[in-house]
Structure 1
């Protein structure tokens, strides 16, 4: 585990970072696509600031799924196959060349389905075109035009900086955390800091709460910037309420007040059914 404001798991090749999980968001590591973020998986990250320690624990109320690091630097989860009565290895990470730390360098973006797999972000160009053509992308990319805060402020400049939305990417290394609930506020805060070049914001934030009857429940708060209107939210609530199955969490209620939209669901202290069937991570890669 690597400490910091946003702790994350890392694999080191000697002293060099080889892979990173992406930050812990309270339920999962955002860079591990197979980690189920819809339910609790039994994992918890505990930080003791006074002792200066951070550790990763797993709930003993769930089935045991051994994890180990192979000699090739792969994180392996073992799943029990009841049909063959054997343990089956499921490689959690790295998933491919794009999962290797720094494959495309700074401001580069990696996609395993593209050829070449590395490209510069919009508005950037390769630091070294020659190295890029050799498929050595570790030098990364540089900005074509300086940020507004870096340009000469004495010259009238009407071109304002703006953000481009990216999906399916890890939060960059060396990120800072701010307790803001709205993506617009996050963007405004980032624009005020010239060293801030990007931000990430979740459309849904989950909490655990208790009703006066002492019943525990999970509360999912939808972001104000999600773009979902009240009617869309009501239709989603109606759809969820009609789905009744013993293996699905029950919708206990919902709340709409101004821009706030919340779902109140049954809390699952022992994780979801798929965790028991397939292990700590999704079975998609098994």
Structure 2
């Protein structure tokens, strides 16, 4: 198993110093509660994605082995780290009940039927997912002045970037076997961006909100989501996201520089509205 980074402070995602959390800086931050709790649901539910991906890539021992031994383990660890933080800072929140409702809902939509038609294009879709998660945690780290939460977010971001690199390498591997045109790659990018915005985060936030407030009142939930989007938008690394999304297109460097700005603006609009 790969070693986990400590950033010089001696702790990892397996050994979080919850005793050092500055509760005064975070306990009354409703925004951070929702952002962290919803993220914990999505990360732990990676077990669903792993099963689906392993089934899809059953004919490739390298990909299957990495998914089972590394990707799933690290994603679930992210969720457990975030859950531990939520339980420590907001102990009154019934995390198991909210997650059970989320899982029952989310598992109905997380199926292999939603995957792309080829191995290469599914790896493009995975690159989109890892782009979204790594940039999300970068923005989350910028939202807080509580050092432990900022450290958790930074560590998760680093691992998500590592996942992106693996999926991109596998995309290149499959493309070498079965060339994938840029229009097909662009279609996969666009589909996964729209699906990511519509599904995962909204489902998680809805169930966190329902348990915390006793019901999922649509108007209040919509207002909360709009507030969180506006807040995250201020720190969202759109340029980083655009570069990661453009990479599978393998554009000439001059063209990539020209389109980076428009892609950054479009990405921000899709992911944050």
Give the TM-score, by structure 1 length.
Answer: 0.20
Which has the greater radius of gyration? 1
Would you tell me which structure has more helix in proportion to its own residues? 2
> Which structure's relative contact order is higher, taking Cα pairs within 8 Å and 6+ residues apart?
2
**Structure showing the higher strand proportion among its residues:** 1
Task: Give me the TM-score of the superposition, normalised by structure 2.
Answer: 0.21
